[in-house]
Amino acid sequence: MAMQRVPVPPSALGESPFWHPTEQRLFWCDIQGHRIHAWDPDSGVLQSWSTPSEPGCCAPTDQGRIVIGLRDGFGLLDPASGRTTMLARLDHDPGRFRLNDGRCDRAGRLWAGSLFAPKTAPEAALWCLRAVQGGGYAVQRMAGDCTTANGLAFSPDDRWMYWADTPAHRIDRFGFDLASGTLGTRSLWKAFAPRTEGRLYGGRPDGASVDARGNYWVAMYEGGCVLQLSPEGELLQRLETPVRCPTMVCLGGEDLRTLYITSAAHGRPEEERQAPVPAGALMHCRVDVPGLPAACFREAQP
C-alpha cells in the first residue's frame, strides 16, 4: 500500500475530497485558499474555481453542479460559469462560526457541521439542507454540543450516522432514518487519548469515509496517519502518511479502491511545508475494500 503524492500544488487546508460518480474526477476544497479543485487522473488536468468565502465542504448535485458549505450558509457552484449562488443562510454569527465537514445522504440531503472559531466551548452545530417540494430549500439545525465538527459519514445500510468532534478527540454515532432524515440516540462510538506529556500522541479525528463493508476510515490530524476502524470501532489497520496533518479521506478511482487523502499546510511549521512531501499535499494509495459511490445532493425542482 505504497502512498504516493498526486501531482498537484499543495492546498493551504485541503478538505472534503469526493470522487465524482459520473465525471470520474476527484474534487476537494481548499478552505483557506477559498477554492474548489477538480483533478482528472487520466489527463492530469487540474481545474479550480474560487468561492466567496471558505468552502468547508463540497458535494456533487444531481444537476451537474457542486453544493458547498460556506462561512454563512450553503451555496451552489456552477462549474461552467464559475458562479456561486446562495441557497440558504444560517442563523449563526459568521464572525465566530463557519461550516466545516459535510456530505450528502442517499436521499439527496446535505449534512454539514460547523466550527466554533474561538474553540473555547462546544457551540458548533450540525445542519441539514434539503430541497422542498415546489422549489426552494430548507435548512434545519439537527444537533449541537460540538466545537469542530468533522468525520461525518453514513453506514452502508443507512442505519447509522457518524459525527466527530476533533478537539474532544471523539467520534459519536447517531441512529439514522434515511426516509425521514431524522436522527436517533447519540452515543460515543470511539474515543482517542488526548495529547499528554510523556505519552505517544496519535492525533485527533478529522474527516472520514465509510467503505462498502462499513469500515470507517478516518484521518488523524497531527497523528500522521489514517485509521481503518471496523463497524464495532476496532482498529483494522493504520496507514502512515508522509505528512503530519492529514485532514480527510475518500475512496475513488474506477473501482473505488484508491484512497485519496487531503492534508493541511495552514498553521504548520516551515520544515513541514518544505518537506519532500509537503504539508498540504494530496496523496493516494490502493486499498483492498472499495468505497461507496458519492451520494448527490438533490436540487430543488420548480
Cell reading at 133: 417540494
Please pick, among 101, 172, 206, 211, the residue that the annotation labels catalytic. 206
Phi, psi dihedral angles at 133 (to 5 degrees): -65, 135
Residue 210: partners with Cβ closer than 8 Å, 6 or more residues away: 153, 154, 155, 156, 162, 216, 217, 291, 292
**Three-class SS of residue 215?**
coil
Q: How far apart are CA 74 and CA 96, in angstroms?
A: 17
**Three-class SS of residue 166?**
helix
Active site residue 255: no
Q: Which helix (H) or strand (E) holds 273?
A: helix 270-273
**What type of residue is 182?**
T
**Strands of the sheet with 26-30, listed across from one edge:** 14-19, 26-30, 35-39, 46-50
Which amino acids are annotated catalytic?
Answer: 206
